[in-house]
Structure 1
Amino acid sequence: MSRRSRTSAAALAALALLATGCADLGSGVRGTPGAAGLRDPYFPKLGNGGYDVGHYGLTLAYDPASGRLDGTAEITARATQDLSAFNLDLAGLTVRGATVDGAPAAYNRAGNELTLRPREELPEGAEFRATVTYSGVPEPITDADGSEEGWLRAPDGAVAVGEPTGSMAWFPGNHHPSDKASYDLTLTLPARFEGLSNGVRTARRTEPDGRVTTVWHTPEPMASYLATVVIGRYETTTATALGTVPVLTAAEPPAVAGSAALRKEVPGILARQVKRFGPYPFSAAGVVVTGNKSLDYALETQSRPLFPADSFDRSTLVHEQAHQWFGDSVTPKSWRDIWLNEGFATYAEWLYAEEYEHVPARTRFERAFAQDANWAFPPAAPPSAENLFDPPVYQRGAMVLHKLRETVGDRVFDGILRGWAAKYRHANATTDDFTSYAEAVAGRDLDALWDVWLHGDGKPARP
């Protein structure tokens, strides 16, 4: 206020004229920078505002001996505001250059934020293409709970996993689950290594220098945390599921024999889940069984879940395959809604055990009810990022679904499961979306159920 009071009227007029002239020159001053973060409850700086990604074209070359990754990310997006600049999430790695619509763009780094400033403003609604070239030795990212994700290197290769933030370790992007996109990934490796990713392998060729390039296509929308690259000495097998869906499974040599029988069951398990959940949402399927010792958890990487060799069992396979519907196709709008992934996939285990192993879901429910760890917090409100993958999200989340089933009956409950997967196919959803949808299908108010089992702080007196 005081500074403006000392500015003369003539000076103000001159400043106004200068500003008008700059705008007329197309310098981009009318646009504003996109937000550096989407204010997720647990990761406020994750993701970026001002644009929506439609497609990622990733071209990667990796040297397992040195750990060096050379990459080019071509990102096709649509501006959702007049943009003077926009951000991408990228951890580590060195940016070598950037363009927007073919013209060089200025860029700078601040922590995990890569800011690109195009030569010209990007008007709201315009589609644009940003290209970033980068290189370096990608590193793991340590989660709040102490587990590792990102780029997990091994003596004979690497595994890239991204839940919840690790994909920024190997490519720049809008790394929040609310911005899903299709992918094409081209991966070049020394000839003795196999490279795997999501979707359908559309090409395999030998380069003049002897390296081998594979190309992978994922046409359906995918959250970046579900993207993967797996590099190693894998043996692969192929099959067909559901009549037309290609199935590719892979295992590293020490795990080939022990995993072979269960890998053959993938088409059958998918067929059983289709009966319960509705049409399979993707154009490819499969599993990867890795011996990478840095990975100590299975992950529902889209169309091709990833398993450590020592956790590849039928129950875990059922869980990760169920995620293809609940988590991968129907993706949470924010990380607060993670129970929509894990509660549903856990209940899929209970349903499978009930139908094919003759263990009633009610028995699994009572076991979960008796475990104190499942009552640490409501499944729809983990207290911090450290708790996103704690027992209440999984087991109490599944209990919510079982109580819903008991309340509305099997016929209505089955309709809710199938309808939910269909209504939000390839989209994002929230907890409120689910409770509203369930009530609409059931034709009744279910607040009493949600208040106790989904949002309640304490353990009910009776299961």
Structure 2
Amino acid sequence: MPLTPRSRPHRPRAAASRRLKSALLASAVSVCLVAASAPATPLGVGDRLFPYLGNPGYDVTSYDLSFTYSGSNSKALQAVTTIDAWTTTDLERINLDFAHGEVDSVEVDGRPTAFESTGDDLVVTPRDALVPGSRVRITVRHTSDPVSGADRDGGWVRTADGLAMANQADVAHLVFPCNDHPSDKAMFTIRITAPSDYTAVANGLPAGADRHRGDGGDGATTTWTYRTRHPMATELTQVSIGRSAVLHRDGPHGLPVRDVVPAKDREILEPWLTKTPDQIAWMEDRVGPYPFETYGLLMAEASTGFELETQTLSLFEKSLFTEPGYPRWYLESIMVHELSHQWFGDSVSPRTWSDLWLNEGHATWYEALYAQDKGGLTLEARMKAAYAASDRWRAAGGPPALPDPPEPGQKIGIFRPNVYDGAALVLYALRQEIGVQAFEQLERDWVRDHRDSVAGTADFRQLAEEISGRDLGAFFQSWLYGEKTPPMPGHPDWRAAARGAKK
């Protein structure tokens, strides 16, 4: 997700994933053994920025989401969410993150089950308590409401001709029941039933489109099915429903690239879409093979104020490419920002939301390198400007790896300059500190070693130390957690501007 508002330009993967999730969940396991007679309580995995996000005691392996869209953006969708999970501790209750929808029924392993809502949690009480290592299937029949609430930062996004999703950072559970924390990635199957004059697209690859003849005077509908081939965090889910054209082309090594655009705008947007294969090749030259089964752009006729790296199908505002005001190289660099997230943030997901700097810092880094290649704006000039502003950013939003929590009702408030250019500045300093060759190896090894997994700041430091052969503890402590920006290696003349009062 690029910063908004925009300014004009001037080691073994599966096992590692389980270990990382277990470490985060362990901090909250002690609250899992809730007596059946006690009141239901919202739980969380202890994330510093979103304390009640996610839930302890289980590890989701897959989601099966089914949405039925009537053709009206003002009506709730009928939905069924099926969750397959393994328990990691004794559970008498199962907490799911879910709000902004009505629950009709819940089943656990095919048996009707008691449930209640508290806070942003749906609390399910199975007939029999679950022991560690149990496989459990939870089926929730519910509505999914696209009408925004007063304190809502995302979820369903209403477009001119349908719907799309923007679930970062803390809003997937406004769309479907889930374990809504990036540390618990899972496989997804997504089914969308809509009137047959609409097109529905979701993450992953298509797995069928079944047309249904209308009954009782109702029009025909089509059920579209998509499946991911790699695990995904809930905040990266994408569903597009609209009067859309789906355009196909080949990427590097035969990678299927599909773009979703308003059908009426396909010709005017095509020149931008043709740039994606070369941009993928540009990223592969720097960090290694593209990590997923497909990629493409969803250009939605909507006003969001941001673009979003939803896995395999990045969300963009169509107007970004149709309204004058930005140089072409600048828009292309924004495209590369979201593309680079497929490696940094999607394939390698953050262990906690305080690790967001690893997502946005890297995306900003490759955006800046691309802008240098295509627009002539040097990386050094951008980093020098960032250095001048860095103390102010730290005062206003916290150090890059210790960002301030969002204000109440502003969940996307964690997306501040300190985790964008401020975090890219940390990467620049690291390259200055360990050298270009070691830094480039670090980038490649990072996305290779943690592919399809989750990782955090400590993991990044450990790998940097292994590759450089140096103790970098003091470097990372000052650059990631210090209130004041340290001196820039190799640039003793760089100066930070005076700090303002902390907001």
The TM-score, its normalising length taken from structure 1, stands at 0.88
Counterpart selection for 2:84 from 69, 72, 76: 76
Q: Hey, what's the Cα distance between the residues in 1 that align with 2:267 and 2:434?
A: 45
Q: Within the alignment, does 1:95 sit opposite 2:100 as a pair? A: no
- Whole-Å Cα distance in 2 between the matches of residues 449 and 309 of structure 1? 41
1:202 aligns with 2:207: yes
Partner of 1:274: 284
Alpha carbons 1:290, 1:307 under 8 Å: kept: yes
2:501 match: none
Distance 1:447 1:311, change over 3 A: farther
Structure 2 partner of 1:235: 245
Deviation per residue, 1:286-313 (Å, 9 max, x gap): 11111123x2210000011000123352
Point out the structure with the larger strand share.
1
**Which residue matches 1:40?**
47
What is the alpha-carbon distance in structure 1 between the residues aligned to residue 320 and residue 278 of structure 2?
20
2:482 corresponds to: 456
Partner Cα separation in structure 1 for residue 113 and residue 309 of structure 2: 36
Distance 1:309 1:421, change over 3 A: same
Unaligned regions of 5+ residues in structure 1, if any? 1-27
Out of 342, 349, 354, the position equivalent to 1:324 is 342
Partner of 2:420: 394
Deviation sequence 1:309-362 (CA, Å, 0-9, x none):
233521111000000000001111111111010001000112223344444321
Indicate conservation of the 8 Å contact 2:42/2:52, yes or no.
no
Q: Tell me the secondary structure at the aligned position of residue 214 of structure 1.
A: strand
Which residue does the alignment assign to 2:127? 119
Letter aligned with residue 398 of structure 1: A
Alignment of 1:102-181 (within 5 A): 102-135=110-143, 137-140=145-148, 148-181=153-186
* Alpha carbons 2:106, 2:138 under 8 Å: kept: yes
Map of 1:19 onto structure 2: none
Which amino acid counterpart does residue 338 of structure 2 have in structure 1? E
Match of 1:415 in 2: 441
Indicate if the aligned counterparts of 2:64 and 2:81 stay in contact, CA closer than 8 A: yes
What is the rounded CA distance, in whole Å, between the counterparts of 2:269 and 2:360 in structure 1? 24
C-alpha separation in 2, matches of 1:345 and 1:142: 31
Partner residue of 2:223 out of 203, 213, 217: 213
Distance 1:340 1:129 in 2: 33
Larger Rg: 1
Q: Equivalent residue for 1:252? A: 262
Structure scoring higher RCO (CA < 8 A, sep ≥ 6) equals 2
The two structures have a TM-score, normalised by structure 2, of: 0.81
Structure 2: how far apart are the matches of 1:382 and 1:426?
A: 25
Counterpart of 1:63 in 2: which secondary structure? coil
Which AA in structure 2 matches 1:430?
A: G
The alpha-carbon deviation at position 192 of structure 1 amounts to 1.8
Task: State the SS of the aligned residue for 1:453.
Answer: helix
Pick which of 253-262 and 212-221 moved more. 253-262
Q: State the distance in 1 between where 2:89 and 2:146 align.
A: 32
Q: Secondary structure at the match of 2:196?
A: coil
Larger deviation, residues 181-190 vs 108-117: 108-117
Structure 1 partner of 2:371: 353
Q: 2:464 is paired with a residue of what secondary structure?
A: helix
Q: 3-state DSSP class of the match of 1:268? A: helix
Partner of 2:401: 380
2:390 is equivalent to residue 364 of structure 1? no
Structure 1 residue aligned with 2:333: 315
State the match for 2:299 in structure 1.
Answer: 289
Tell me the distance in 2 between the aligned counterparts of 1:207 and 1:371: 58
Distance in 2 separating the partners of 1:286 and 1:408: 35
Q: What amino acid is aligned across from residue 358 of structure 2 in structure 1? A: L
C-alpha contact 2:333 2:368 (8 A) present in aligned 1: no
- Of the three residues 192, 197, 201, the one matched with 1:192 is 197
**Aligned mates of 1:308, 1:299 — CA distance in 2:** 10
Counterpart residue type for residue 439 of structure 1:
E
| SS in structure 2 at match of 1:178 | coil
1:103 aligned partner, one-letter code? R
Residue deviations 1:147-182, cap 9 Å, x none? Answer: 831112245211221001111111101001111000
Give the Cα–Cα distance (whole angstroms) in 2 for the partners of residues 385 and 39 of structure 1. 15
Secondary structure at the counterpart of residue 135 of structure 1 = strand
Residue 403 of structure 1: how far off its partner (Å)? 1.0
Amino acid in structure 2 at the alignment position of 1:99: E
Give, as a single letter, the amino acid of the residue that structure 2 aligns with 1:339: W
Provide the C-alpha distance between the structure 2 equivalents of 1:354 and 1:127, rounded to a whole number of angstroms: 51
| Cα deviation digits, residues 249-294 of structure 1 (max 9, x gap) | 011246433421121111111111111111211111111111123x
Q: Alignment partner of 2:438: what SS?
A: helix
Q: Establish whether residue 337 from structure 1 lines up as the match of residue 337 from structure 2.
A: no
- Give the letter for the 1:384 counterpart: P
Query: Corresponding residue for 1:182?
Result: 187
Q: 1:200 to 1:369 in 2, by over 3 A?
A: same
**Deviation for aligned residue 1:140:** 3.2
Task: Give the number of equivalent residue pairs.
Answer: 432
Shift of 1:244: 3.0
State the partner residue of 1:9: none
Q: How far 1:35 moved relative to its partner?
A: 7.4
**Where do 5+ consecutive residues of structure 2 fail to align?**
1-34, 215-219, 322-330, 408-412, 488-492, 495-503
Q: CA deviation at 1:407?
A: 1.6
> Structure 1 residue 87: deviation in Å?
0.8
- Once the two structures are superposed, residues 110-134 of structure 1 have per-residue CA deviations (whole angstroms, 9 ceiling, x without a partner) of 1311111111222211111111111
Secondary structure at the counterpart of residue 220 of structure 1: coil
3-state SS in 2 of match to 1:221: coil
Find the aligned partners of 1:142 and 1:45 in 2 and give their Cα distance.
20
1:306 paired with 2:315, answer yes
Report the residue type matching 1:455 in the other structure.
Answer: Y
% same residue = 35
SS in 2 for 1:120: coil
